[in-house]
Amino acid sequence: MEIPRLNLAVVGAAIGGSSLALLRARAGARVALFERVAHPRAIGAGIALAPNGLAVLRGLDLEPALRDRGRPLSSPRIVDDVGRTLLAPLLPRRGDGLDQLLVIRRSDLHRVLLDAATEHDRIALHLGVEITDVTADASLRARHDVDDTWRSYDLVVGADGVRSSVREHLDVGARMRASGITYVRTLTAATEAEGVEAWTRAGIFGSLPLPDSAYLYASAGSPALRAALAARDLDALLERSAPGPARPTAVCDA
């Protein structure tokens, strides 16, 4: 079926689901975008958008709004545990703003996408709606308050995360497997950030700038870091991952 005639259901209105809904609606499809949470907000602190991602967002006319909220990074580096450069990616030199990474809070990215989906006349956004069943012929059952109604579509896309209700009800061959690596992500009031990612024996550590803060992340790759994380011992976690004066002063999830 051609996209302009497609009646599409997207389950999950986070960054992936909202982006897909906007892209398909721009191509002419009718999209029903379902989200179980009545008042969604993004979790995960920050994100670095690469040039290819920015090109997609520019195609959706969202790049200016994101640049207002983010901070460009034109010379990212990967270093070792003593600061020696391992990799300095050669970003394309285009001169149109797509030759940079853009570091932004996930909550800001999510809000821009969700606002655009809300305003699009070919997207019907359903917040606070739980999907209780999905069939192979692209029908789904959605519960809202006391209603439990079947709805039929041409295609159902599951963009509802690790605990996907779509994947739960359909055997599509997808298998979840834990990576064994846990990441800690935080926003800090300190504005100094080196714009680098360090690959060390203890794990991977990143420090990326935002307009009014910094986005820090670390993989709990060593036994000491895993123990501190399991004990929810923030002081021990900071001591083992980011010694020195530039330590997070507040931990946020959005």
The predicted structure's pLDDT at residue 169: 84
Reference 181, options 150, 151, 218, 145; nearest CA is: 218
- Please report how the helices 51-59 and 15-26 are oriented relative to each other, as an axis angle in degrees rounded to 10: 50
What is the Cα–Cα distance from 221 to 225, expressed in whole angstroms?
7
- pLDDT at residue 138 greater than cutoff 80: yes
CB 153 within 8 A of CB 7: yes
pLDDT of 250 > 80? The answer is: no
Helix or strand or coil: residue 194? coil
Distance CA 222, CA 90 (A): 31
**What's the confidence (pLDDT) of residue 97?**
61
Entry field: residues in the chain: 254
Domains of the chain: 1-73+102-176 (3.50.50.60), 183-241 (no CATH)
Nearest one of 107, 66, 67 to 215, comparing CA atoms: 107
pTM: 0.84
Give percent of the chain with pLDDT exceeding 70: 88
- Give the chain's mean pLDDT: 84
